[in-house]
Structure 1
Amino acid sequence: MSTEQIPSGRTRQHPLAPPAWLLKGLRPGTAPIPWAAVLRAAVAMAAPLAVGFALDEPEYGALVSMGALSGVIGDTADAYRMRILNIAIPQLFGAVGVALGTLVFGHGWLAVGALTLIALISGMISSIGTVASVSGLLFLLNAVVGAGLPLPRPWWTAPLLMTAGGLFVLLLTLLGWPLRGRQPERAAVAATYRALADNLEAAGGPAYEERRHQVTQALNHAYDLVLGRRARVHGRSPALVRMLAQLNVVIPLVEAAPAAHLRGRPLPPEIPAAVRELADAVEEGRTGAPVLDLPAAHTPAERAVDSALRHAASIVHLAEPDPYNVDDRLGRPAALRVRARRAVRDMMMSRASWRYGLRLALCIGLAQCLVSLVEVERSYWVALTVTFVLKPDFGSVFSRAVLRALGTAAGLVIAAAVLSEVPRGWWDVPVMMVLAALIPAFSAKGYAFQTAAITPVILLLSDLLNHQGFDLIRPRLLDSLIGCAITLVAGYLLWPESWRTRIGDRLADTVDDAARYVERAFGAQPQTEAGLQAARTARLQARRRIYRELSGVRSEFQRALTEPPPTGARAAAWWPLVVAVERIVDATTAARVRVNHGADPPSPAEVAAVTAQLRSLAEAVRTNETPVNAPLKPPSPTSGVLSPLHQELAAARALTHR
Structure 2
Amino acid sequence: MIKGLALRLSWPYVGEVARSLLGVVLAVAVALHWGSAPAAIAAGGSAAIAGATALQDGTRSRIQLVVAVSLAMGAAAFLGALSAPHAPIFVVVVGLWCLIAGLVWTLGSNAGLVAAAAAALLVTSSAVAQPFADVVTTTVLTVTGGLTQAVLVAAWPRQRWQIQRLALTNAYRSVARHARLLATEPVDAAGSALSFDPTPLISLRDAFTGSDRQARRRPPAFRGLYGLPERIAMTLAALGPSAGTPEVAAVLAAAADVLDGIAGSGRGAHDVAQRELLRLDTAVAAITGSPAAAGRRLQTQLWEAATLRFTGSAVPAGTVQELRRPPVSELAAAARATLLTNLDWESPILRHAVRLAAAAAIGTAAARGTGMSHGYWIALTVVMVLRPETAHTYTRCITRIAGNAVGVTVATGITAVLHPSGVVSALLAVAFVGIAYAVSGIGYAALSAALAAAIVFLLDISGAADSATIKELLIATVIGGALAVASHLLLPDRSLIRLRQRAGELLKAEIDYAAAVLRAFVHPLHDAAELDATLTGAWQRATRARSAFEAASGSVRAEAPEVRRWLMTYRGALNAVTGACATLESHLPTPDVAVDRRFVVAVDDYVDSLRGDLPSAGQPWTVDAAHLTEADQQLKQAAALLAIDNAGQRVLVAEVATITRHLLAIAPPVGFTRVG
**Length-normalised TM-score, structure 2:** 0.55
Change (3 A) 1:506 1:451: closer
Q: What SS does the aligned partner of 1:388 have? A: helix
Give the counterpart letter for 1:382 in structure 2: I
Q: Which residue of 2 aligns with 1:75?
A: 54
Shift of the 97–569 alpha-carbon distance from structure 1 to 2, 3 Å rule, reads farther
Equivalent in the alignment of 1:357: 353
Counterpart of 1:93 in 2: which secondary structure?
A: helix
Matches within 5 A, 1:115-264: 115-151=94-130, 153-154=132-133, 155-177=135-157, 182-184=162-164, 217=217, 220-222=220-222, 246=229, 249-250=232-233, 252=235
What amino acid is the match of 2:364?
Q
Q: What is the deviation of 1:490?
A: 0.7
Say if 1:189 and 1:246, in contact at 8 Å, map to a contact too: no
Distance in structure 1 (CA, Å) of the matches to 2:22 and 2:490: 42
User: Which residue of the partner structure matches residue 474 of structure 2?
Assistant: 477
> How do residues 12-161 of structure 1 correspond to structure 2 at under 5 angstroms?
30-32=9-11, 34-51=13-30, 57-78=36-57, 81-151=60-130, 153-154=132-133, 155-161=135-141
CA separation in 2, counterparts of 1:112 and 1:558? Answer: 45
RMSD: 5.6
Q: How does 1:129-528 map to 2 (within 5 A)?
A: 129-151=108-130, 153-154=132-133, 155-177=135-157, 182-184=162-164, 217=217, 220-222=220-222, 246=229, 249-250=232-233, 252=235, 323=273, 324-325=276-277, 327-329=302-304, 331-332=314-315, 335-336=326-327, 337-350=329-342, 351=344, 352=347, 353-392=349-388, 397-411=393-407, 412-425=409-422, 427-428=424-425, 430-464=427-461, 467-491=464-488, 494-497=491-494, 500-503=498-501
Query: Residues 424 and 92 from structure 1, CA distance in 2 versus in 1: closer, same or farther, beyond 3 angstroms?
Result: closer
3-state secondary structure, aligned to 1:328: helix
- Give the aligned residue type for 2:229: Q
Contact 2:70 2:145 in 1 (8 A): no
Q: Is the 8 A contact 2:66 2:150 kept in 1?
A: yes
**Which structure exhibits the higher relative contact order, with contacts defined as CA atoms closer than 8 Å and separated by 6 or more residues?**
1
Q: CA 1:425–1:489 in structure 2 vs 1: closer, same or farther (change >3 Å)?
A: closer
Counterpart of 2:157 in 1: which secondary structure? helix
Output the CA distance in 1 between the equivalents of 2:421 and 2:398: 32
Q: Contact 2:50–2:149 (CA<8 Å) still a contact in 1?
A: yes
CA change 1:470–1:100 in 2 (3 A) is same
Could you tell me whether the CA contact under 8 Å between 1:46 and 1:432 is conserved in 2?
no
CA contact (8 A) 1:58 1:464 kept: yes
The answer to whether the 8 A contact 1:125-1:133 is kept is yes
- Whether the aligned pair in 1 keeps the contact of 2:44 and 2:145 (CA below 8 Å) is yes
Deviations 1:473-503 (A, max 9, x none): 2222222222122111213563133882323
Deviation of 1:347 after TM superposition, in Å, equals: 0.6
**In 2: Cα distance, 1:481 partner to 1:103 partner:** 28
Q: Deviations over 1:397-455 (max 9, x none)?
A: 43432222232233231441244125435644654553443333233544322222222
**Does the CA contact (< 8 Å) of 2:58 and 2:219 recur in 1?**
no
* Paired AA for residue 101 in structure 2: S
* Percent of aligned positions that are identical: 20
Deviation at 1:143, TM superposition (A): 2.3
| Deviation per residue, 1:373-405 (Å, 9 max, x gap) | 445341111111111222226995434322222
- For 1:466 and 1:349, locate their aligned partners in 2 and report how far apart those are by CA, in whole Å: 47
Amino acid at match of 2:141: L
Taking the aligned partners of 1:434 and 1:647, their CA distance within structure 2 comes to: 46
Q: Which runs of 5+ in 2 are unaligned?
A: 173-197, 206-211, 242-251, 278-298, 306-313, 317-324, 509-538, 557-566, 578-609, 611-622, 641-653, 672-676
Contact 1:30–1:445 under 8 Å retained in 2: no
The SS at the match of 1:378 is coil
Q: How many residues align?
A: 467
Query: For residue 454 of structure 1, what is the amino acid of its counterpart?
Result: L
1:104–1:111 Cα contact (<8 Å) kept: yes
> How far is 1:124 from its partner?
1.7
Contact 1:503-1:557 at 8 Å conserved across structures: no
CA contact (8 A) 2:38 2:125 kept: no
Aligned partners of 2:202 and 2:89: how far apart in 1?
60
CA deviations 1:277-305 (Å, max 9, x no partner) are: xxxxxxxxxxxxxxxxxxxx9xxxxxxxx
Q: Alpha carbons of 1:132 and 1:212: their partners in 2 closer, same or farther (altered >3 Å)?
A: closer
Q: Which moved more, 1:30-39 or 1:422-431?
A: 422-431
Structure-2 change in CA distance of 1:145 and 1:176 (3 Å): same
Per-residue deviation at 1:183?
Answer: 4.1
Question: Is the contact between residue 561 and residue 569 of structure 1 (CA under 8 Å) also seen in structure 2?
Answer: no
The CA distance in 1 between the partners of 2:105 and 2:430, in whole Å, is 31
Separation of aligned partners in 1, 2:385 and 2:363: 13
Cα displacement (A) at 1:254? 12
Structure 1 contact 97–138 (Cα < 8 Å) conserved: no
For 1:370, the aligned partner's letter is A
Q: Residues 527-563 of structure 1: CA distance to partner in whole angstroms, max 9, x if unpaired?
A: xxxxxxxxxxxxxxxxxxxxxxxxxxx9x99997898
Q: What's 1:279 paired with?
A: none
Secondary structure, aligned partner of 2:494 = helix
Give the SS at the match of 1:141: helix
Q: TM-score, normalised by structure 1?
A: 0.56
1:368 positional shift:
2.5
- SS of the equivalent of 2:303 reads coil
> In structure 1, what residue type is equivalent to 2:450?
A
Higher mean Cα deviation, 365-374 or 578-587? 578-587
Relative distance call for 1:61 and 1:460 in structure 2 (3 A) is: same
Q: CA deviation at 1:149?
A: 3.6
